[in-house]
Structure 1
Amino acid sequence: MTGPLRIGFIPLVDAAALIVAVDKGFTAAEGLEVELVREVSWSNVRDKLNIGLFDAAHLLAPVAIASSLGLGHVKVPIAAPFNLGINGNAITVSPPLHAALMEEIDGDRFDPMVTAKALSRVVAKRRKAGAEPLTFGMTFPFSTHNYQLRFWMAAAGVDPDEDVRLVVLPPPYMVDSLASGHVDAFCVGAPWNSVAVDLGIGHILHFVSDILVRAAEKVLAVRQTWAEKNPDVVAALVRAAVKAAEFIEHPENRDEAAQILAQPERIGVDAEVIQRTLGGRLKISPDGTLRESGRYLLVGREGAGRPDPVQAAWLYAQMVRWGQTALSEAALRTAMGVFRPDLYDAAVGQSGSAKDVSGGPFGAFAGPGFDPQDLAGYLASFEVAHRTR
């Protein structure tokens, strides 16, 4: 290869392993010269990766799958040899919506079924009063945020396509959209939920780890053809990301990692907000209420970096459930083939499944257990769905 690698990213804490790999010198130690390019929208990142302006990218896991299937855009097969984050999203609501939900709460407010039922009652009241539907922001049609919002709402019978409005907003624009009243709530990755709380304009209703205990979020994505031509570069990138993730996960390194990520050309928010995120200790309301979770965001621990094809199958199942594509065995194989534990293992020297901690999206709060061998049965169990015929 000639010249530096150009890698695109969105200012989110789950880009941490990539940013720290470059800024702490882990990529340089692997003989790589890397230019990180900050972008605003996922469509920009996807398009620049697809046409070769980026060699690699911090990318929404479902976008990598959609690109490989040719859904919503041109078909460009993507390989994901490293998982940049497990979990990390949250649902944040405006103070008026929070008050309305709390009025309807019957049970534990941290139980997503309880809040989903409260939402269904709020939606029904608004409809009866002739009010506009609630508007929820999410980051992209092919996004975990979209599927996680839908999964949560639909569990209590709220139809995300009929009863509320879902709109696409780039992550950095979520807070302003909530402040201006353009949206009533949003689902986004850190740090933007915390920023809304700190400004006094939002309450974090749920960590998405309440909804799915273990859900693949972002991947290090490369074009499949590029990966085939540059296997040594891919392996070096993976090794650098693994070392960076290990660095970040050591509590004694959190302050330094947060300072790196806080830089204006990286995430560009206060380091203390990023530290809270990495430690899983978040302020969830403007009054200072704290909530702690060891599962809020996994960067490297618990095998988070190793891609799990079962996670890709779950994401593909959501695309089918919500009418973005039809169910097909060939498409399922393609989707699962995007997540490349083989490339990860080759890079770090693992063989077979010696350290395979896969097992898909453990712990969905509702619905049946997930079996990628029986997607038809899984999908048939949901009452609220919009599958293509």
Structure 2
Amino acid sequence: MPDEMQVNIGYIPLTDCAALVVAQEFGIFARHGLRVHLKRETSWANLRDGIVLGELDAAHMLAPMPLAITLGIAAPRQPVITAVGLALNGNAITLALPLHERLRAMAPDLPGAQLARTLKVLLGEDRRAPMTFAVVSTVSNHYYQLRHWLRAGGVDPDRDVQLVVVPPPRMVEALQSGKIAGYCVGEPWNSLASEKGVGMPIVGSSELWSNVLEKVLGVREAWARQHPETHLALIRSIVEASRILDSAGGRREAGPLVAAHIGVDPAVVGLSLLGQVPGLAGPAPDFHVFHRYAANFPWRSHALWFLHQMRLAGQCAMDPDARATAWQVYRPDIYREAMAAQGESIPFLDTQVMGTHAAPWTLPAVPDALQMGPDLFFDGQIFDPGRNGRAPE
């Protein structure tokens, strides 16, 4: 049985905290014997510090963040693990309206995923100070996706533009004030820029890399060892809530509750949950994925891809120690323990080759095969983690 204790879980006001909200508001945590307090944080740095200092037991985290904290990247070193995913996809790149209009005048039909090519031309013509773009953290998919998008268009993210960190709730304000030319952030902060007439989303993260792991539940490794049954109950609760969010009607019912927790107009959050984001092709049912496509499984191949991006950004070395960190931090073994008796289909392996499926496909799993979604990168790359899913020797 879970410990008789209150579990303090931090979250950032984003649409993809939805599984935590549903687990709390639908009484799922309570049914699993948990007393949970959800604490809204203002920035990823604050949330990170809450975990490091032990003020939070668990947190809604950027998928690369448990790795970064464990390695001591942009944070004091503290072993953190994740054994369950919270969401796939959910980000977008948004440009200030004047910049968007200039680029579209030059390339009216170019897909948003390729619009950095036109930005490259514009930067070559513009002799003013480098444009500034914002991300929510330097150890986030937003940072790596924005850098990937820029590089694919021939823009050097370290020389041709300036990248800064802005907390998600401050993004629209920074865009409106002219401090930044664009950003990569999770919903609903892209939709809000459009609603206020200050920005336009141009490409969603699901178009840059289909079904990338975006958020996870991170916990301090020491806390998980001290409270193993509580940790397992958290995982089961989140999977149950995630299943509701990907069910018929689940998102519409959850929309007002999520909006209340993040402090945003319920209409905007409701449309975001349904994949109706201005400027993007929609409605896109896979803009947010909470349970489908093994979304809750903590793939170590994702961990290795994040470490690869950290290496490209000069944040860490991709050496055997870093690879071992992926196995230390991403814990499918704990997920399997939590879900073994729950009737949930579980993959056999811990890693998979990514970037080879343009259409839905079937993954071997037990007790039943899993239906998976596309996993293409927008520039055609393939990421092969190697070793056939085995732990490092």
- Counterpart code for 1:32: L
Q: Partners in 2 of 1:58 and 1:206 — Cα distance?
A: 24
Residues 353 and 384 in structure 2, CA contact (< 8 A), matched pair in contact too: no
Q: 1:54 aligns with which of 44, 53, 56?
A: 56
Residues 314 and 360 in structure 1, CA contact (< 8 A), matched pair in contact too: no
Q: Partners in 1 of 2:57 and 2:22 — Cα distance?
A: 18
Q: Partners in 2 of 1:198 and 1:211 — Cα distance?
A: 23
Cα 1:125–1:336 change in 2 (3 A) is farther
- 1:353 — aligned with what? 347
User: What's the CA shift string for 1:78-115, capped at 9, x where partnerless?
Assistant: 111111111100001111110121123275334x12x1
Task: For residue 221 of structure 1, report the CA deviation from its aligned partner.
Answer: 0.5
Q: Partners in 1 of 2:4 and 2:380 — Cα distance?
A: 50
Task: For residue 356 of structure 1, report the CA deviation from its aligned partner.
Answer: 7.5
1:217 aligns with 2:214: yes
Matches within 5 A, 1:187-226: 187-226=184-223
Which has the higher mean CA deviation after the structures are superposed, 216-225 or 266-275? 266-275
1:163 aligns with 2:165: no
Task: For residue 290 of structure 1, report the CA deviation from its aligned partner.
Answer: 6.2
- Counterpart code for 1:353: P
- 1:116 — aligned with what? 116
Cα 1:230–1:359 change in 2 (3 A) is farther
Residues 302 and 357 in structure 1, CA contact (< 8 A), matched pair in contact too: no
Residue aligned with 1:20, SS: helix
Q: Partners in 1 of 2:36 and 2:25 — Cα distance?
A: 10
- 2:362 — aligned with what? none
Residue aligned with 1:34, SS: strand
- 2:137 — aligned with what? 140
Residues 6 and 55 in structure 1, CA contact (< 8 A), matched pair in contact too: yes
Q: Partners in 1 of 2:158 and 2:86 — Cα distance?
A: 30
Unmatched segments (≥5 aa) in structure 2: 356-374, 388-393
Matches within 5 A, 1:330-341: 330-341=321-332
Q: 1:293 aligns with which of 284, 296, 313?
A: 284
Q: 1:344 aligns with which of 308, 330, 335?
A: 335
Q: Partners in 2 of 1:358 and 1:249 — Cα distance?
A: 23
Q: Partners in 2 of 1:156 and 1:352 — Cα distance?
A: 38
Q: 2:299 aligns with which of 299, 302, 308?
A: 308
Task: For residue 300 of structure 1, report the CA deviation from its aligned partner.
Answer: 1.2
Residue aligned with 1:35, SS: strand
TM-score (normalised: structure 2): 0.88
User: What's the CA shift string for 1:61-84, capped at 9, x where partnerless?
Assistant: 111111111222211111111111
Q: Partners in 2 of 1:248 and 1:291 — Cα distance?
A: 18
Cα 1:144–1:186 change in 2 (3 A) is same
- 1:45 — aligned with what? 47
Residues 132 and 161 in structure 2, CA contact (< 8 A), matched pair in contact too: yes
Residues 104 and 121 in structure 1, CA contact (< 8 A), matched pair in contact too: no
Unmatched segments (≥5 aa) in structure 1: 375-389
Cα 1:336–1:100 change in 2 (3 A) is farther
1:317 aligns with 2:308: yes
Q: Partners in 1 of 2:271 and 2:345 — Cα distance?
A: 35
- Counterpart code for 2:226: K
Q: Partners in 2 of 1:358 and 1:278 — Cα distance?
A: 28
Q: 1:229 aligns with which of 226, 237, 243?
A: 226
User: What's the CA shift string for 1:25-76, capped at 9, x where partnerless?
Assistant: 1000000000000001111111111121101000111111111112222111
Q: 1:180 aligns with which of 177, 180, 187?
A: 177
Task: For residue 351 of structure 1, report the CA deviation from its aligned partner.
Answer: 8.1
Task: For residue 255 of structure 1, report the CA deviation from its aligned partner.
Answer: 2.1
Q: Partners in 2 of 1:371 and 1:359 — Cα distance?
A: 5
Task: For residue 7 of structure 1, report the CA deviation from its aligned partner.
Answer: 0.6
- 1:384 — aligned with what? none
- Counterpart code for 1:81: A
Q: 2:13 aligns with which of 8, 11, 14?
A: 11
Q: Partners in 2 of 1:43 and 1:35 — Cα distance?
A: 20
Number of residue pairs aligned between Structure 1 and Structure 2: 363
Q: Partners in 1 of 2:151 and 2:281 — Cα distance?
A: 28
- Counterpart code for 1:117: R
Q: Partners in 2 of 1:215 and 1:352 — Cα distance?
A: 18
Residue aligned with 2:242, SS: helix
Task: For residue 357 of structure 1, report the CA deviation from its aligned partner.
Answer: 9.1
1:363 aligns with 2:376: yes
Q: Partners in 2 of 1:167 and 1:85 — Cα distance?
A: 25
- 1:85 — aligned with what? 87
Residues 300 and 351 in structure 2, CA contact (< 8 A), matched pair in contact too: no
Residues 69 and 335 in structure 1, CA contact (< 8 A), matched pair in contact too: no
Aligned-pair identity (%): 39
Q: Partners in 2 of 1:337 and 1:367 — Cα distance?
A: 30
- 1:269 — aligned with what? 264
Q: Partners in 1 of 2:11 and 2:75 — Cα distance?
A: 20
Residues 351 and 385 in structure 2, CA contact (< 8 A), matched pair in contact too: no
Structure 1 moving runs of 4+ over 3 Å: 354-361
